[in-house]
Amino acid sequence: MASFRLITLSLVLIEVVVHRYTLSADALSMDYYAMACPFAEIIVRNAVNRALRNDPTFSAGLLRMHFHDCFIQGCDGSVLIDSTKDNVAEKDSPANLSLRGYEIIDQAKQQIEAQCPGVVSCADILAMAARDAVLWAGGPIYDIPKGRKDGRRSRIEDTINLPPPFFNSSNLIRMFGQRGFTAQEMVVLSGAHTLGAARCGSFKNRLSKFDATHDVDPSLDPGFARMLTRTCSAGDTAEAPFDWTRNSFDTAYFNALQMGGGVLISDQTLFTSPQTRGLVVAYAMNEARFFFDFSQAMVKMGFLDVKEGDAGEVRRDCRRVN
């Protein structure tokens, strides 16, 4: 009886794995450009490495841009489109104004177009660039499926679906859940905040000096709150790094959360909430697990509402629909 159960369980597991694989194989594949544009990956990697050698803070910019692309209209390069006189695009939404790295995508695209015009989508270039940025910063190495098409819609109003910095753990679990992610995947993806910084406009409501309606957010370490307050005295665009190694992909972010050093409410809540605290502790202690789960969650994020065939196009210029 026990062995029968074991066999049934194994068959179910095999089916889950095969089903996941077929789903992905139908839509995208690892070697999508192997024949039509064999140097695409290398061109992107070189463009990213060149830019990051000059300014390592762009690793954060590229990673965040891919996330903001995927969460709005799927991973279809919609975040890269410029506004026109008839349309205010996603990138001009307040939630996207601090996105950085558009020029790196443009450079890679121009070089790829020179070799194989009309083949490689901007959405794929952005996905590859984010992956390469993570590796450059010392994070995990992982392959991503390719074959996304570029979308034709980019509207400011759609960015309402990006998570705001004041969300608590339950809000975040719900919002990510709506896109098919588990709480664990939400926490590990938030680990992207191991790179980069936030501007005061995103967190000053936690500090009593800038919001007289309440005391300092009690989940903040008092010393850290004083430091954030000093940073914000320089104005709304002054930046506070998410952790003490802003250009290194490591576990410092999760360690900071354990010390009351989360910059955003949406960061600190991951540790204060019993629903997610265990995951923060686990990732803080175990870099290998963080890297493995992060890679898997990024690949999954890269599948969000991917456009195939006529549902999209391969843009000639990432900033304009064809």
By the criterion CB under 6 A, which residues form the site for ligand HEM? 60-61, 63-64, 67, 98, 100, 163-165, 167, 172, 189-190, 192-193, 195-199, 202, 264, 266
**Binding site per annotation, positions for heme b:** 193
CB of 27 vs ligand HEM, minimal distance in Å: 20
**Binding site per annotation, positions for substrate:** 163
Helix (H, G, I), strand (E, B) or coil at 42: helix
**Binding site per annotation, positions:** 69, 74, 76, 78, 90, 163, 193-194, 243, 250
Range list of H helices, the chain? 2-27, 40-54, 58-71, 102-115, 122-136, 169-178, 183-190, 222-232, 252-258, 265-272, 274-285, 287-301
CB of 57 vs ligand HEM, minimal distance in Å: 6
Question: Beta-carbon neighbour count of residue 85 at 10 Å?
Answer: 5
The DSSP secondary structure of 176-210, one letter per residue, reads HHHTT--HHHHHHHHGGGGS-EEEGGGTGGGSTTT
Rank residues 37 and 96 by Cβ distance to ligand HEM and give the closer one.
Answer: 96
Rank residues 190 and 231 by Cβ distance to ligand HEM and give the closer one.
Answer: 190
CB-closest chain residue to ligand HEM? 196
Residue with tokens 């409501």: 205
* Structure token digits, residue 318: 């990432």
Rank residues 111 and 275 by Cβ distance to ligand HEM and give the closer one.
Answer: 275
Q: Any catalytic annotation for residue 68? A: yes
**CA–CA dist 278, 267 (Å, integer):** 14
Rank residues 51 and 63 by Cβ distance to ligand HEM and give the closer one.
Answer: 63
* Structure token digits, residue 209: 């000096």
CB of 240 vs ligand HEM, minimal distance in Å: 9
CB of 274 vs ligand HEM, minimal distance in Å: 18
**CA–CA dist 88, 194 (Å, integer):** 31
User: Which residue numbers are catalytic?
Assistant: 68
